[in-house]
Amino acid sequence: MQEYDTLNSALDQANSGDPNSACVAALAIVEYDRATTGLIKAQKIAERRSGARGANARKALLAAEARLKHAEESLSNPASFDNAVSKVQEMLSEVQTALDSMGAAAAESTARRILLGLGFPKETLDAPFESLSGGWRSRCSLASVLLQEPDLLILDEPTNYLDVPSILWLQSYLLSLENTTVVIVAHDRAFLDSVTSETIIMRKGKLTYYEGSISVTERAIMKKRKGMIRMKEGLDRKKAHIEKGIAEGARMARKTGDDKRARAVKSKQKKLDERFGLEVSEKGHRFKLNRDLGGYHLTNRAELTIEDLDSLINLPFPVPEALRFPGALCTVNNVSFRYPSSDRLILDSASLVIHPGARVGLVGKNGEGKSTLVKLIIGQLRPTKGNIERHSRVNIGYYSQHSVEELTSTAVGKTPALAYFIETLKERNQIQVDEQTAFAFLGGFCLQGKLAGSIPIAELSWRTEGMVRLALALVVYPAPQLLVLDEVSTHLDMDTTSALIKSLRSYNGAILIVSHDRHLIQSVIEGAPLIPDIGGDGSDSNRESDEDEEDDYNTGVVYRVGPKGRVEALPGGVDDYISIVERRLSKEAVG
């Protein structure tokens, strides 16, 4: 498009004045830009190739340098030649053809549609990119990739910094791509279950391929594993019975001197050694004379092996101290709030009550007041109207979106986790913790040995995840009666998120969660299965992987912080909110 503007402008000047000089200058500019781009590409290729390919790449690099040098000379002293106008016309035609093939005419309208779908307010679409915060820049980069409509689209954690409406829009957009293969690395289970049809699991440096989404895959793996365990137990019992019979037969053969019985015992032992193992192959039929096994094997049947699972991640949240007298932990009475520098009402007549042991979830679009309501509840802000009552002895633990950012500062990054944990508890909560107690507590959060005692926080090998665990450890020690978590799963992988869900489900204190992770809220607040039953019929066979599910789980309430500052309870929880968002997206698409 830059070339089109340059060449088109030159032709306009040629029609109104000197037809040659404007076109010569335009040609020099375009050639210089192309030579610069070509040199950058040649440098990248030459840096990454070796051997014969590297020699060819270096020759191409020298040629690119020569072209750029020639283009610089032409730009400084453009030569005059007779066919400049026709050459500009020819080049402009080529550029126009390229723009037409990539749909450049509709690019701006498509870009605006994508940006709006990812949550950009209309008034910010024409604002400078430099004025955007980090999260909005990430969204803009995602929009740029989606705009290209490539053959292969690779998305690494695309839902970070997206709210639920934007995630649902992205789901719909990806599902509408008919000619694009999409590869996604993500930790948002609900998102992956919605948009993926195949799953690749990387474990110990190996890739294993499965049909279906991650939840379908995990349920199938667990079901197969349980079947293998039952099969192994049955084979072990059968083998023990056969070995007992062989031992008894051998004893009787020795006692009676019966050679026929001794040969029969030896034959049974040989069959046991050579033909004992899996009775049914992966294809579903019985093994016959090593037919299903490639290569050389000592036995005629495959040995039954059960792979070890990855070590379980544990986040040991302590038990909060019981309050000395009953009462609600926090009561929000008709609270309204606006910031002093703004006339817009962030919250309008909001009311909710948090009782001991309650489960409360907050959902809503970014910028509609969820974090503001949380700060009012914990006392960081004061309401403009209404009042908030807190239990006189309640201890509140607060994990904010900036808890990890605080650990990335230069001063904090030089301190080991153990020292920072002890110092922070002393300053923040006036609690004196000895090294042994702190070391043991951090060890429960996988911050053990050198990771806690000597390695600076900034040098943790699994940096962001380690910082999240350290931030969580600081929040839950000592155990609060009200645990407030604002976007706690943003930097967690799926296994750690599952461990977090298990810890929260067994936590005795009250929990308030603000999150765009639908699965996290549904599992912790609504008691949904840890692995969703995608497409199942709800029977016992489809719930075999839910060993940790509780039939009498204390479910809670999901509130929507919506437009105009309204806070409303959703009877159907997250599903109700998804329905509201999908209806709005459908109307916007029709509009």
Q: Is residue 449 part of a domain?
A: yes
Last residue of a domain, one of 474, 505, 532: 474
Residues 6+ apart with CB under 8 A from 503: 314, 315, 316, 317
Mean pLDDT over 135-158 rounds to 92
Phi, psi of 69 (to 5 degrees): -60, -45
pLDDT tens for residues 171-182? 999 999 988 999
Task: Write the CA distances from 15 to 7, 90, 483, integer angstroms.
Answer: 13, 16, 73
Beta bridge partners of 482: 396, 510
In a domain, 234, yes or no: no
pLDDT of residue 200: 95
Residue carrying the six token digits 């030089």: 414
Position 39 scores a pLDDT of: 95
Q: Which residue has the higher pLDDT, 42 or 86?
A: 42
Please tell me whether residues 380 and 508 are part of one structural domain.
yes
Domain boundary at 67, 101, 135, which?
101
- Quote the pLDDT of residue 286: 59
Please state which of the ranges 138-147, 252-261, 403-412 shows the lowest mean pLDDT. Answer: 403-412
The verdict on residue 95 lying in a domain is: yes
Is 90 exceeded by the pLDDT of residue 549? no
What does the buried/exposed string (b/e) look like for 471-484 if buried means 16 or more CB atoms within 10 Å of the residue's CB?
Answer: bbbbbbbebbbbbb
Alpha-carbon distance 88 to 85, whole Å?
Answer: 5
Domain that holds residue 575: 330-395+478-590
Query: Both 131 and 152 in a single domain?
Result: yes
Same domain, 468 and 455: yes
483 and 464 fall within a common domain: no
* Burial of 528 (C-beta count, 10 Å sphere; 0-12/13-18/19+): buried
Per-residue confidence at 543, pLDDT binned at 50, 70, 90?
very low
CA separation, residue 403 to residues 313, 471, 524 (Å) = 21, 6, 21
Look at residue 134 in the predicted model and tell me its pLDDT.
83
- Which one of 13-22, 88-97, 277-286, 549-558 scores highest in mean pLDDT? 88-97
- Per-residue model confidence (pLDDT) at position 287: 53
Please tell me the predicted confidence (pLDDT) of residue 560: 96
Q: Please give the mean pLDDT across all residues of the chain.
A: 86
Shared domain for 371 and 487, answered yes or no, is: yes
Q: Is residue 235 part of a domain?
A: no
Say yes or no: 346 and 492 in one domain. yes
The conformation of residue 297, written as its DSSP 8-state character, comes to -
For residue 499, being part of any structural domain is answered with yes
Listed in sequence order, the residues at least 6 apart from 42 whose beta carbon sits closer than 8 Å to its beta carbon are 57, 60, 61, 63, 64
Q: Is the pLDDT of residue 215 over 90?
A: yes
Please give the share of the chain, as a percent, with pLDDT higher than 90.
46
Pick from 166, 196, 226: which residue ends a domain?
196
Instruction: Answer yes or no: is 261 within a domain.
Output: no
> Out of 128-142, 447-461, 497-511, which region has the weakest mean confidence (pLDDT)?
447-461
Mean pLDDT of 452-476: 80
Taking the C-alpha atoms of residue 276 and residue 243, their distance in angstroms, rounded to an integer, is: 12
pLDDT confidence of 541, banded at 50, 70, 90?
very low
Q: Are residues 136 and 50 part of one domain?
A: no
Q: Is residue 160 part of a domain?
A: yes
Q: Please enumerate in sequence order all residues whose Cβ is within 8 A of that of 407, keeping only pairs 6 or more positions apart, or say none.
A: 413, 420, 457, 467, 470, 471
What does the pLDDT look like over 51-60, one tens digit per residue?
A: 889 999 999 9
Q: Is the pLDDT of residue 291 over 60?
A: no
pLDDT average, residue stretch 295-299: 56
- ∠ CA 233-238-241, rounded to 5°: 125
Q: Are residues 22 and 81 in the same domain?
A: yes
Judged by average pLDDT, the poorest of 258-272, 277-291, 300-314, 549-563 is 277-291
pLDDT band at 82 (very low <50, low <70, confident <90, very high): low
pLDDT grade for 1, boundaries at 50, 70 and 90: confident
Residues 20 and 169 in one domain: no
Does residue 344 lie within any of the structural domains? yes
Domain count, the chain: 4
In degrees and rounded to multiples of 5, residue 60 shows phi and psi of: -65, -35
- CATH code assigned at 381: 3.40.50.300
| Beta-bridge mates of residue 567 | 561
Residue 430: its pLDDT value, please?
84
Over residues 417-445, the mean pLDDT reads: 88
CA distance 161 to 437: 36
Mean pLDDT on 512-517: 95
Question: Are 390 and 524 in the same domain?
Answer: yes
The predicted model gives 368-387 an average pLDDT of 94
- Residue 281 banded pLDDT, cuts 50, 70, 90: low
Q: What is the pLDDT of residue 301?
A: 61
Most confident of 88-92, 371-375, 459-463: 371-375
Same domain? 64 vs 153: no
Q: Is 580 found in the same domain as 487?
A: yes
Res. 81: pLDDT tops 80:
no
Q: 307: which residues sit within 8 A by CB, 6+ positions away?
A: none
- What is this structure's pTM? 0.79
